Amino acid sequence: MKATPIYLDYNATTPCDPRVVEAMLPYFTQHFGNAASADHVYGWQSREAVTDARLQVAELIGASPKQIIFTSGATESINLALKGLAENSPGGHIISCQTEHKAVLDTLTYLEMRGCDVTLLEVDTDGALSPAALEAAIRPNTIAIALMYANNETGVIHPVPEFAAIARRHDIPFLCDATQAVGKIPVNVTSDGPDLMAFSAHKIYGPKGIGALYIRSKRQLLQPLLHGGAHEGGLRSGTLNTPGIIGFGKAAELCQAELSDEQQRLGMLRDQLEAALLGQLPGVVINGKGSRLPQVSNVLLPHPDVEHLLLSLSAHLAVSRGSACANLVQQPSHVLKAMGLSVEQAAQAVRISLGRFTTATEVQQAAQRLVQAIATPVV
Amino acid sequence: MKEIRQIIQAYEMATAQQKRAVLATVVHIEGSAYRAPGARMLITEDGMLTGAVSGGCLEGDVLRKALLVMTGEQPLLVTYDTSDEEDHVIGVSLGCNGIIRILLEPLPDADDNAIVLLKEAVAERSPAVVVTFFAEKDKLHRLQGTRLCWTQRGLHAITPPVSAVAADIQLAVTRGTSTFVQYAEGFTAFIEYLAPAPALVIAGAGNDVMPLAGMAEILGWSVTLIDGRPAYAKQQRFPGCQVLIAQPEQALSNLAIDEDTAIVLMSHNYHYDKAVLEAAVKTDARYIGILGPHKKRARLLEELPPLSAAQLGKIYGPTGLDIGAETAEEIALSIIAEIKSVFAGRQGQALRDKQGHIHMRHTQFTPSLQEYAVLVLAAGASRRLGQAKQQLAFEGETLLQRATRTALSIGAATTAVITSEAATLPATVIVNHQHAEGMASAIRLGVEHTDKYQFILVMLCDQPYVNTAHLLQLIAAQQVSGAPVAASLYAGRKGVPALFHRSQFAALQSLQGDTGAKHLIEQLGDMVTSVPFPEGAFDIDTREAYQQLIKTEHD
């Protein structure tokens, strides 16, 4: 048995916590009932479990369970929110930002083809977006604002409460993609104030294929993507993914309990990692400044071929270039380009993200591997 | 060949540095692909690539999959479908239109792995076969991999998953092409025939020879220079080539010149060239190029003893393709291109003007010899001969023993001999009690015993010149043509030995009386493919024929 590489790509996905898997297992074989079956005990059991899980998920973000609908993941939640808003006000104007995740950007590109007008706000070299710029971009026909909580590549945290206040002042629905922030830092829909918020289970040690959309009120503003059975209040038809929902609920509960210790621990490890790299490798630059998520570091490495560097370290270390890309032809990160990096610089960037199962030793070893590989000249 | 050598070298370097490696082999393609089956690439754990499996479009993904394979011990068969215009895996349209199967095999640090076999295959300048097994239905099957190497020195095997492959190797050698043989066990064997790399012998070691020798080296050809002038024929002027100082008369006699050899005369010394030419036309060399105008060739041919048409056909003078070459480098390009086209049997035309596919690759799957049966018919009464002809002796054995031995030599699943009385033979003997009816009864009885096979090869015991090579050629001709029957062509007619696909078994079963397989072959007309076999006309039907046969034995 060979040693497995050190996993430092938690922003791409997290392993399921064994406690989550344990909670899910009975719902595959024993409690397999359809939560919509109203006439027997199997259905009732499932429905009860889903109700509990919805509460667990809602509590993690300070919401009420009836404000949560389950989807297949953050991408679906974002699509459901944006397409619904756009369909209700055809030809409307939507404001977003250049550093958003592709789930937002690609959906907006699609809506542009359907007649929407899209403004993508710029960020500064630190990755920050100013509330003033947001307010200045608002037009009379602006129908939605879509801004993320924290960036998936750099970890830069946006001033969400300020954005929400502006949106409320202009009475514009505000969708926040909080996929990377939920479970990592305190996120509270009441104090943060978004109208819609998307997040997913597999970033918080839950299973893949399950996510949620928080909807403050005015469900009527949205239109379902899927029809057939009127599940989830008619917004998301399809038999509920009971094991996934149970896992999501358990994962949310664990995060809530462990969040503050974990936030501190990971922040410390991340700072140690950055210090090690900055101290031993001249030319290292940390991308993204100001308020950042505790677990992620986006590092510009002084190496001519970072793709090859990562492949050659793949037996020992799992980190990624920029964001996990949809296809094999890796495009330089749009996030880093928006922050003013050149294509060449963006190609040198590596995202190192830590998580619940990362140890101090692993972080030291990872830094050592990178330093060794970069400091040793290629023959 | 060159790629294999580079891969061996890269593997040895990686092993010395204690780095793990994975071998990627293109084991099959359907439709068009840039690289043919047999293209290989070595991937080491630090991500270094040696060789290539595509034009560069698949390497990035193959590299990642190879690194994945490196984490375990299991091989992995990867299938790329480049016919998908918007391939979401590759991310770009490749412009090709084919399916490429690539086997990734880990190379455990052992004395017995794929590299050992490849080394053996290229150790000597002689034909070799390398067999790589893959399992389309189980892409992680442990026994996939490079498992066999055959050379004239013998067979080297690393636990092949299918033991019956030896016979199919022999068939590939006869065909002189690679084959893809599917076995009942669920494996396909890529039986890769490796012809030796061309050899180039250049008469002359002047400065203008340098580009020619250099280009041949790039192609992986082995280059020998011969010149009578010690000042020119210096090893240090031509590193990587064999350099001989020799008088023209002896120059070629010290070299092993086979049909994969090209000889080019460019000594710029008429008498030297002439003497080499005189020796060259007597060798097996497939290409003899003469540098210089038509006039020079005409004078050379005039002064030499008369040559046969075959000898004249090998002489290319002026040497080279018409590409407007002026400088020594350009002339080298023109000569190299012509030799390559002659060896490949092509015309050297622009591909733009060519109809159809660029390559002529035969990549269809063929059945194993495990799907073939051989019937030796020995039960016919020999009315004219007056005695049982199968018992006649020739070269120390009876004709029946001889035919049985030949039949067994191709390695088919079963060999059945139909006789009129019990006999002791190393094959299944079936006694035909109805032999008085004639030939048809023997065929019917034989087919009845072998109709579970895909093909039946029917042969007689009274054609003493039938040999292994001819039987394999019948099988090869059927595989290439897809015809239902492959027959031997002699005396202007098609006859036995002949190979029948199972679609013809019913027709064979319905033969009556003294009509033989030949009757069915005639009925099928143009549906029958044929292999020329003039010696087939000689059979032992009369005492005179037998006397003639015995006479050749004593000659």
Residues in Cβ contact with B312 at an 8 Å cutoff, skipping those fewer than 6 apart: B301
Only one residue has tokens 């038509």, namely B294
**Inter-CA distances, B381 with A96, A287, B387, B402, Å:** 96, 95, 8, 19
In angstroms, the CA B72 to CA B345 distance is: 44
Nearest chain B CA: its distance from A1 CA (Å): 8
B96, B187: one domain = yes
Which among B194, B216, B249 is the end of a domain?
Answer: B194
Domains of chain A in sequence order? 6-15+260-375 (3.90.1150.10), 18-254 (3.40.640.10)
CB contact under 8 A, A308 and B64: no
Assigned domain for B252 exists: yes
Query: Considering the domain boundaries, does residue B356 fall inside one?
Result: no
Q: Which residues of A touch B91 (CB under 8 A)?
A: 327-329
The residues in B 494-523 lying below 8 A from A, measured between CB atoms, are: none
In this structure, are B19 and B110 located in the same domain?
A: yes
A330 → chain B, closest CA residue:
B91
For chain B, say whether A372 makes contact (Cβ under 8 Å).
Answer: no
Question: Are residue B289 and residue B377 in the same domain, yes or no?
Answer: no
- Residue B90 sits in the same domain as residue B206: no
pLDDT confidence of residue B8: 95
Task: Nearest chain A residue to B63 by CA: give it.
Answer: A311
pLDDT band at A323 (very low <50, low <70, confident <90, very high): low
CA distance, residue B72 to nearest chain A CA (Å): 8
List C-alpha distances in Å: A124 to A97, A274, A290, B123, B145.
Answer: 11, 22, 11, 63, 54
| Distance between A308 CA and the closest CA of chain B, angstroms | 7
CA-based nearest residue in chain A for residue B87: A327
Q: Residue B103, class by beta-carbon neighbours within 10 Å (0-12 exposed, 13-18 middle, 19+ buried)?
A: buried
Please judge whether A315 and B70 are an interchain contact, meaning their C-beta atoms are less than 8 angstroms apart.
Answer: yes
Place of tokens 């998580």: A355
Least Cα distance to B115 among B242, B222, B7, B239 occurs for B7
Place of tokens 């390497």: B59
So what's the pLDDT on residue B554? Answer: 63
In chain B, how many domains are there? 3
Question: Which string of DSSP letters, residue by residue, matches B3-63?
Answer: HHHHHHHHHHHHHHTT--EEEEEEEEEEE--SS-TT-EEEEETT--EEE-SSSSTTHHHHH
Quick one: residue A288, left, alpha or beta (phi over 0 = left, psi -120 to 50 = alpha)?
Answer: left
Domain identity same for B14 and B66: yes
Q: Which of B18, B45, B46 to mutate to test the interface with A (most CBs of A within 10 A)?
A: B46
Å from B116 to nearest chain A CA?
25
Whether residue B387 is found in the same domain as residue B344: no
Does B90 reach chain A within 8 Å, measured CB to CB?
yes
**CA-based end-to-end distance of chain B:** 43
Q: Does B92 touch chain A (CB under 8 A)?
A: yes
CATH number at residue B296: 3.40.50.720
Query: Which range scores top for mean pLDDT: B5-14, B169-178, B383-392?
Result: B5-14
What pLDDT, on the 0 to 100 scale, is given for residue A329?
A: 56
Domain span at B246: 199-351
Using DSSP's 3-state secondary structure scheme, residue B532 falls into strand
Q: Which of A312, A313, A331 to mutate to test the interface with B (most CBs of B within 10 A)?
A: A312
Q: Do B91 and A308 touch (CB under 8 A)?
A: no
* For chain A, percent of residues with pLDDT exceeding 70: 96
Please list, in sequence order, all residues whose beta carbon lies within 8 angstroms of the beta carbon of residue B360, skipping any fewer than 6 positions away. none
Residues of chain A with Cβ-Cβ distance to B61 below 8 Å are 328
Q: What are B25's two structure tokens?
A: 């082999």
The tens digit of pLDDT for each residue in B472-483 reads: 999 999 998 899
Query: Contact, A53 vs A210, CB < 8 A?
Result: no
Q: From CA B145, how far away is CA A122, in angstroms rounded?
A: 53
**Chain B partners within 8 Å of A315 (Cβ):** 45, 67, 70-71
Within-domain flag for B359: no
Q: How far apart are CA A252 and CA B25, in angstroms?
A: 47
**Residue B383: pLDDT band by 50, 70, 90 thresholds?**
low
CA distance, residue A373 to nearest chain B CA (Å): 10
Q: Which candidate in B18, B19, B45 is best for mutational testing of the A interface (most A CBs within 10 A)?
A: B45
d(CA A265, CA A295): 9
Nearest to A252 by CA among A297, A187, A190, A157: A187
Q: Is residue B361 part of a domain?
A: no
Contact by Cβ (8 Å): B240, B223: yes
Angle at A75 between CA A69 and CA A81, to 5 degrees: 55
Instruction: Give pLDDT, residue A326.
Output: 46
Can A325 be counted among the known catalytic residues?
yes
Q: Nearest 5°: CA angle at A330, between B55 and A332?
A: 130
Pick B45's closest partner by Cβ from A315, A326, A328.
A315
Residue A251: phi and psi, rounded to 5, are -60, -40
Domain boundary residue, one of B144, B168, B194? B194
Residue B553 is assigned to a structural domain of this protein: no
A 197-256 residues with CB < 8 A to B: none
Distance between CA atoms of A307 and A328, rounded to whole angstroms?
A: 12
From B42's Cα to the closest Cα of chain A, the distance in A is 14
* Active-site choice (A116, A176, A255, A325): A325
Which residue, of B194, B211, B241, is where some domain finishes? B194
Contact A311 B63 (CB under 8 A): yes
- Look at residue B555 in the predicted model and tell me its pLDDT: 59
ipTM of predicted assembly, 2 dp: 0.79
Res B60: pLDDT = 86
Residues A366, A273: Cα–Cα separation, whole Å: 8
User: What whole-number distance in Å separates Cα of residue B102 and Cα of residue B79?
Assistant: 6
B16 touching chain A per CB within 8 A: no
Residues B246 and B122 placed together within one structural domain of the fold: no
pLDDT band, residue B391 (cuts 50/70/90) = confident
> Residue by residue, what is the 3-state secondary structure of chain A?
CCCCCEECECCCCCCCCHHHHHHHCHHHHCCCCCCCCCCCHHHHHHHHHHHHHHHHHHHHCCCCHHHEEEECCHHHHHHHHHHHHHHHCCCCEEEEECCCCHHHHHHHHHHHHCCCEEEEECCCCCCCCCHHHHHHHCCCCEEEEEEECECCCCCEECCHHHHHHHHHHCCCCEEEECCCCECCECCCHHHHCCCEEEEEHHHCCCCCCCEEEEECCCHHHCCCCCCCCCCHHHCCCCCCCHHHHHHHHHHHHHHHHHHHHHHHHHHHHHHHHHHHHHHHCCCCEEECCCCECCCEEEEECCCCCHHHHHHHCCCCEECECCCCCCCCCCCCCHHHHHCCCCHHHHHCEEEEECCCCCCHHHHHHHHHHHHHHHHCCCC
| B84, part of any domain | yes
- Which of A2, A308, A327 lies nearest to residue B47, judging by beta carbons? A308
Interchain proximity A315–B47, CB inside 8 Å:
no
CB A96 within 8 A of CB A108: yes
Is A85 in contact with A144 (CB distance < 8 Å)? yes
Q: Is B72 helix (H, G, I), strand (E, B) or coil?
A: coil
If you ran DSSP here, which 8-state letter would residue B387 be given?
S
Chain B residue with minimal CA distance to A308?
A: B47
Q: Same domain, yes or no, for B270 and B343?
A: yes
| Best mutation target, A307, A311, A313, to test chain B (most B CBs within 10 A) | A311
Round to whole Å and give the CA distance between A34 and B157: 56
Contact status, residue B179 vs residue B475, Cβ threshold 8 Å: no
Phi-psi region for residue A205, left (φ > 0), alpha (ψ -120 to 50) or beta? left
Q: Do B67 and A311 touch (CB under 8 A)?
A: yes
Average pLDDT for chain B: 89
Give contacts of B90 with chain A, Cβ < 8 Å. 327-328
Both B395 and B340 in one domain: the answer is no
Assigned domain for B436 exists: yes
Q: Which of A199-213, A303-317, A335-349 ranks highest by mean pLDDT?
A: A199-213
Alpha helices for B230-348 (secondary structure H)? 248-251, 270-280, 294-303, 309-313, 328-344
Biggest distance spanned by C-alpha atoms of chain A = 71
Å from B56 to nearest chain A CA?
Answer: 12
CB contact under 8 A, B46 and A327: no
In sequence order, the β-bridge partners of residue A214 are: A68, A197
- Domain of B520: which CATH number? 3.90.550.10
Q: What does the block give as tokens for A66?
A: 């009836």
In chain A, the residue whose alpha carbon lies closest to the alpha carbon of B19 is: A312
Assess A312–B contact: CB distance below 8 Å, yes or no: yes
Q: Is the peptide bond before B497 cis (omega within 30 degrees of 0)?
A: yes
Which among B45, B72, B91 is the nearest to A328, CB-wise? B91
pLDDT of residue A379: 47
Convert the pLDDT of each residue in A43-69 to its tens digit: 999 999 999 999 999 999 999 999 999
With CB atoms and an 8 Å threshold, state whether B91 touches A314. Answer: no
Residue B91: predicted pLDDT: 47
Cβ separation B91–A315 shorter than 8 A: no
**A305, closest residue in chain B (CA to CA):** B47
Interchain CB distance below 8 Å, B60 and A328: yes
- Are B46 and A2 an interchain contact pair (Cβ–Cβ within 8 Å)? no
- Whether A344 contacts chain B with CB within 8 A: no
Q: What is the predicted pLDDT for the residue at A325?
A: 52
Same domain, B346 and B372: no
Looking at chain B, the whole-number percentage of residues with pLDDT higher than 90 is 63
Strands B98-106 and B128-134: unpaired
HEC profile of B423-476: CCCCCEEEECCCHHHCHHHHHHHHHHHHCCCCEEEEEECCCCCCCHHHHHHHHH
Instruction: Say yes or no: B187 and B214 in one domain.
Output: no
Q: Are strands A317-318 and A6-7 parallel, antiparallel or unpaired?
A: parallel
Asked if B88 and A327 come within 8 Å (Cβ–Cβ), the reply is yes
Q: Does A29 reach chain B within 8 Å, measured CB to CB? A: no
pLDDT digits (tens, 9 = 90+) for B245-299: 988 888 888 888 999 999 999 999 999 999 999 999 999 999 999 999 999 999 9
Residue B362 lies in a domain: no
B244, containing H or E segment: strand B242-245
B47 contact residues in A (CB cutoff 8 A)? 308, 311-312, 314
At residue A218, the pLDDT reads 79
Q: Same structural domain for residues B189 and B205? A: no
Q: What share of chain B is helix, strand, coil (3-state, %, to 5)?
A: 35, 25, 40
- Express each pLDDT in A10-33 by its tens digit: 999 999 999 999 999 999 999 999
Residue whose entry in the numeric block shows the structure tokens 């064979």: B508
Query: Which residues are CB-contacts of B39 (< 8 A; sequence separation ≥ 6)?
Result: B3, B25, B26, B51, B52, B53, B54
How many angstroms separate the CA atoms of B164 and B160, rounded? 10
| Amino acid B552: pLDDT | 76
Could you tell me which residue, A80 or B161, shows the higher pLDDT?
A80
Q: Is A329 on the interface with B (CB under 8 A)?
A: yes
Sequence length of chain B is: 555
pLDDT at A165 exceeding the cut of 50? yes
